[in-house]
A and B are shown apart, each in its own frame.
Chain A
Amino acid sequence: MTFLAALILLSPLAMAIALGLFGRRLPGRTPGFLAFASAGVSFLCAATFCLRLLALPASERALSLPLYSWISVGSLDLNLGILVDPLSATWATVVTGVGSLIFLYSISYMQGDSGYRRYFTYLCLFLFSMLILVLGENLVLTFLGWEGVGLCSYLLIGFEYDKEQAAAAGRKAFLVNRIGDVGFLLGMFWAFWSFGTLSHETLASSVAGQAVSPWLALCFFLGAVGKSAQAPLFVWLPDAMAGPTPVSALIHAATMVTAGVYLLCRLSLLFAHAGWALMVVAIVGAFTALLAAVIALRQYDLKRVLAYSTISQLGYMFLACGVGAFSAAAFHVTTHAFFKALLFLGAGAVIHGLSGEQDLRKMGGLKKSMPRTYRSMWFGALALAGIPPFAGFFSKDEILGSAFAGGHYVLWSVGLVTAALTAFYTARMMTLCFHGSSRLAEGVHPHEAPPLMGVALSLLKWLSLFGGLALGVEALHFRPLHEFLRPVLDPAAEVLAIEHLSVSTMVVLLALAAALALAMWTLAKHWYLGDRQVLRRWELAAPAVARWIAHRFYVDEAYHAAIVRPLGALSRLCRNLDTHGVDGLFRGCARSAAGMGSVVRLLQTGVVHAYALWFLVGVVVFLWITVG
């Protein structure tokens, strides 16, 4: 058992080390195939674990497998070990499963790149870090993985490091994430001195029944906000699209960015006891979902549309956590991993086929030249838009249903509006990309993706279609994923006393959401397919609003003006203060010592009369002090 668990982690780690140190001599695509094999092994082990856990009774579904004592000082005793429970097993399976497919896709996609081996080294390292994050048995190990995936993200965004923009985007991602990491760190310190442990299992048991400071929960939440690109820290994710497209699919859509949701689920009990902290989570989630969906309406870069839609969907997951529906969040993470990976890989195929073109305005009519990519993308798009029976419909509407059931009608309506906008921008993207007349630049000859990429696309296509149906249909009380996660997530739900909707209300809500999504889809298709005049009229109707949307609400500019530039100015101020102020003071001391020396030297005239005079003055002063 321990061996199998260790193999999940060691397989990608060993491959990363092997490729990094000795991969230089491997010919052609061998590194890609080897990396894919290691990810596949990981996936098989993770899936085995899921099955094994299923075979156990619900109360015993947690296997703690310590390897050795890592850091042990005073009352702190951290093991380096693995915790396999339904939550970590689910995440690990999704990560390795979708990961393997993206590895497979990359074999072809990255072919001919001079950094081929480096790419797969980083990818294996990423997979290892992500698995540590998920499977680590204590918060510090989770943090280790957390930073590890951040590092790999940094390296992979800046993969084409000779491009200034890619290098800058990588650094930005790492730094914005580090803001969240400070929150994570402080949360750990606070939790340790409050509960005396950082291990996931004992933490859950010592939290139970205690009042937790909401601020403690918000420290962890800050970490989650950074990693999962929620408002106000979402600015790094759109820039992260400078990385290769499979990386966007794997790290910035399917896996790493869901780490924040994982953390919330893992600490669900702590959040459940933390009073109003969950409300903050819900509001931030709903706000982010809406904001990102609005921004996505006006993006022309294919990958950026998808990036903002990822932020928006992550907002839904946070909303779910905030209203206490942690298992709904986990469900949406899973389906989102399927369809968003599919959409990104499809986008990658389009960009590949157009020799690097990403601008939607220079696409159009691609369905004829790329039929297979087109069909696959459709599945993903329908799932994203929340059209039944595709995967996204079930998971998203369960989140909306939970918000409604909890009496959060404002949050629910924000979610519903976001769903409508999502359908709109998805249809807009698909129409601009595949339908209508071709607007391709001269000399671009679109071609279909090579077969290996096609395999990954079609597998994800079916997952996007059936993923939702297979994992949970709330209205039919068919919820295998929720049942599986119950031992980990139910305690929090019990504390929060989650309400459930009646079937009839649920059906009404589902029908409403589906109808809205379909209507918006049709509207967008109609607007963008016909004449392009409509687009301009829509823009001209409220130019100020449109400009704000197009410039992403000037959030980046605001950060630049409010934080980056003042900090830079502060650091230059410190430099001046240091050289002229602090050091100047010491130099002044030195100079005044030297100056005093030269003043005193004036007395040493060598004239005996002068000495006698000074002697007399001295005597007088002495007498005056002592006698007078």
Chain B
Amino acid sequence: MNELGMLTALIALPLVGGILLALLPGLRPEPARILTFALMLVTFLLSLALLAIPAGSSWNEGPFPWVPRFGISYLLGADGIAALLILLTTLLAPLVLLASYGHVHDRIRQHCVLLLLMEAGVIGVFCALDLVLFYVFFEMSLIPLYFLVGIYGGARRVYAAFKFVIFTMAGSLLMLLGILYLIHKTGSAAYPDLLRVSLSATEQFYLFWAFAAAFAVKVPLVPFHTWLPDAHVEAPTGGSVILAGVTLKMGTYGLLRFALPLFPAAAVDAVPWFLALSVIGILYGALLAWAQRDMKKLIAYSSISHMGFVVLGLFALTGTATSGAVLQMVNHGIATGALFLLVGMLYERAHRRGLDDFGGLAQTMPVFSVFLVLATLSSIGLPGLNGFVGEFLILLGTFRDHPVAAALASLGVLLGAIYMLGLLKAVLFGPVRNHRSAAYSDLTIREVSMLCPLVILMFWIGLFPGPLLRRIEPCVNQMLEAPQLELSRHREEASPVPRTATLRDGSQP
């Protein structure tokens, strides 16, 4: 319980590896890349141990005092939710590194270092249980991504990277203020301590929105989404995969882990806002995706729509919907990761990615086509694949208390099919519009081996979601305990039925 263990190892391995890689003199680029790959593979294999966390409980490490005067400590913990997101991270990292063989030919070593630091930061975010530690990791994961976009990106990379950082920083500064206030008030930054603290309604209100601002920008929730398309379009393939696959989840993870349980009363009050914003995000993002003629932009906007589903599920505050939302975080990482990888592969061949630049690739690149079709089907939630299970649970759970929101969100499922099948039709089907596309070679073994794990997961989660849901559900119920209590109190106040629910320990009626 109190010793350093697996979680520290999972953070330290890429972190120390990255620093050593940066400092080691005379290491040539290619060996550095192979070394990085090996390191990431080891990290992934180690992280598989997280599957051994018993359902409903967690692995904790610490607390070790860090700045004892302010109650800041080194405290890590991973429950079922964190374990899945860490696994997603450690799985995507080596795939991204493999993808870099296709498009990173300069500054290879820096690229590897950035990826490793990024991985360490993201893993840290998902298991930090001290708010200051969390904030440090939250920001630490930002910087490598800034450089990944700014150095290895497209023509407007500097603008995009700058915009991305300004947006996220602006949000997380508010969170920092919130964290400082909490420390000032309670003398501790440790999550378990803060769960027991009672805050007044006003305090909860300001603190909730301070945290929510940071996470809403990260998700991103409409209207704070405009950094995402720019960042995605300019980012290199690997950057896009990490951005969509993992970093967006830091926002929804933060909402679930911190915003909901720490400030339940304010969260319950904010439910209508979040439901509205997520439904708007689902529909608006889908309509925007439909209007795009650039494949990367299309997928970027589809991410806004899909993350809207996740937020909807989180704030429906039912075990079903919120479990679906956590599963959908993983699903979105898999499907969108695969889509960005595929677009990247096409871009490496054609050096373009407009919808109108292709057509008829099904004839010239059959293997690529099969993978693109599968990733699309996963993304639009075809039953039998992973996307369906998450979407279904989110909508089912939301429908109980918010049928209108669920119905509107279901239209997003319809719109999703419109733009994604439009993508397939433009790129794969129809006559060959671009005579050069006959010369594109089909996928190489390296590329197929990058996609295979993702496709296997699509089917596995679609057909056997049980093991994942069994890990997610108890943790989700723990997160929702306080908000649900608050919710039932709201209902009782609204209805004339006398109160029966026991109030949360120490809170004011």
Contact = CB atoms under 8 A, between A and B. Distances in A.
A189 B395 contact: yes
Contacts of B288: 571, 574-575, 578
A188 B396 contact: yes
A76 B428 contact: no
Given A161-B362, A162-B363, A571-B290, A74 B428 contact: no
A190 interface: yes
B226 A73 contact: no
A315 to B, nearest CB: 25
A590 B167 CA distance: 11
Contacts of A567: 287, 290
Nearest to B419: A571
A185 B400 contact: no
B414 A578 contact: no
Interface string A172-198: 001100110110011011101100000
A74, A75, A190: residue with the most chain B Cβ atoms closer than 10 Å: A74
Interface string B416-451: 011001100100111110000000000000000000
A73 B469 contact: yes
A189 B410 CA distance: 11
Nearest to A167: B429
Given A186-B410, A574-B288, A583-B226, A70 B428 contact: no
A71 B463 CA distance: 9
Nearest to A160: B429
B275 to A, nearest CB: 15
B465 interface: yes
Contacts of B166: 590
The binding surface of chain B is classed by DSSP as: helix
A167 B425 contact: yes
B349 to A, nearest CB: 20
A76 B287 contact: no
B421 A171 contact: yes
Contacts of A585: 223
The binding surface of chain A is classed by DSSP as: helix
A74 B291 contact: no
A182 B430 CA distance: 28
Given A175-B414, A575-B288, A590-B166, A73 B319 contact: yes
Contacts of A392: none
A181 B403 CA distance: 16
Contact of B399 (A161, A179, A193): A193
Contacts, number: 141
A570 B286 CA distance: 11
Interface stretch (B23-31, B40-48, B208-216, B376-384): B376-384
A158 interface: yes
B261 interface: no
Contact of A582 (B226, B290, B406, B466): B226
A147 B388 CA distance: 11
A171 B422 contact: yes
Interface in B348-399: 360, 362-363, 377, 382-384, 388-389, 392-393, 395-397, 399
B396 A182 contact: no
B130 interface: no
A186 B428 contact: no
Contact of B466 (A70, A162, A190, A572): A70
Given A158-B429, A161-B430, A185-B395, A175 B418 contact: yes
A162 B425 contact: no
A144 interface: yes
Contact of A74 (B225, B319, B383): B319
Contact of B389 (A71, A143, A189, A570): A71
A154 B418 CA distance: 13
B414 A147 contact: no
B184 to A, nearest CB: 29
Nearest to B167: A586
B263 interface: no
B60 interface: no
A151 B388 CA distance: 14
B469 A164 contact: no
28 contacts: A68-B464, A72-B470, A74-B318, A74-B320, A80-B463, A140-B383, A147-B384, A148-B383, A154-B421, A158-B429, A162-B429, A162-B432, A163-B431, A164-B430, A171-B425, A174-B417, A175-B421, A179-B414, A182-B410, A185-B395, A186-B399, A192-B396, A571-B287, A571-B291, A574-B287, A578-B288, A582-B222, A586-B226
Given A181-B413, A575-B288, A582-B222, 17 more contacts: A140-B383, A147-B383, A147-B384, A147-B388, A154-B421, A158-B429, A161-B360, A161-B429, A178-B413, A185-B413, A192-B396, A193-B400, A567-B287, A571-B290, A574-B284, A582-B225, A583-B226
Which 6 pairs from chain A and chain B are nearest by CB? A189-B399, A144-B383, A167-B429, A583-B226, A575-B291, A161-B429
